[in-house]
Amino acid sequence: MPKSSLTLVLGGARSGKSRFAEGLVTARPAPWLYIATAQAFDDEMRDRITDHRARRTDGWETVEEPLEIAAVLGAVPGGRPVLVDCLTLWLSNVLLAGHDAETEAARLAATLARPRGHWVVVANEVGLGIVPENPLARRFRDAAGWLNQRVAATADRVVLTVAGIPVEVK
């Protein structure tokens, strides 16, 4: 069995992607590192964060980092199982912060291409609806699609969750 791997868990809204990804990480020996990219801007987001936290018990160390997840990953001890949840919120944070999404995505993808332990990253699939009328939403959708492609290209395993069921993609 290899000592390191990258798994990308893709899914739609409420498709069970976080739960499935957590199960992959906790199947490894603790301690596990959870890198949370969500920011509690409003009540809706606060509820989601609380909900996700409630599922994580002993054995988890949590780092809340909306932007510098490449840096955090760079500092993770080798061999530590890591969950990043999620890339799509991170991308949204990058765009909101006015950073260059292209550059940041390339940097993150390069870091994820060299996992130093069993790393699992969660991302949303957002490109299977009608073209959004809002130009910013279109740009975001494109950037999210590119990021998913880049990460999937180097991932050892890609899973799409459909109604909570994992479907193997790669």
Among 67, 99, 145, 156, binds its own copies (CB under 8 A): 145
CA distance 131 to 137: 9
DSSP sequence for 64-104 = E-SS-HHHHHHTSPTT--EEEE-HHHHHHHHHHTT--HHHH
**Which of 157, 155, 75, 145 shows the shortest CA–CA distance to 105?**
145
Q: Which of 19, 48, 52, 157 is catalytic?
A: 52
Q: How far is the CB of 105 from its own copies (least distance, A)?
A: 12
Among 30, 45, 71, 137, binds its own copies (CB under 8 A): 137
Instruction: Please give the helix or strand (H or E) that residue 163 lies within, else none.
Output: none
Q: How far is the CB of 43 from its own copies (least distance, A)?
A: 11
Site residues (CB under 8 A) for its own copies?
A: 8, 10-16, 44, 123, 125-135, 137-138, 140-142, 144-146, 148-149, 151-153, 158, 160, 162-165, 167, 169-170
Catalytic residues: 52
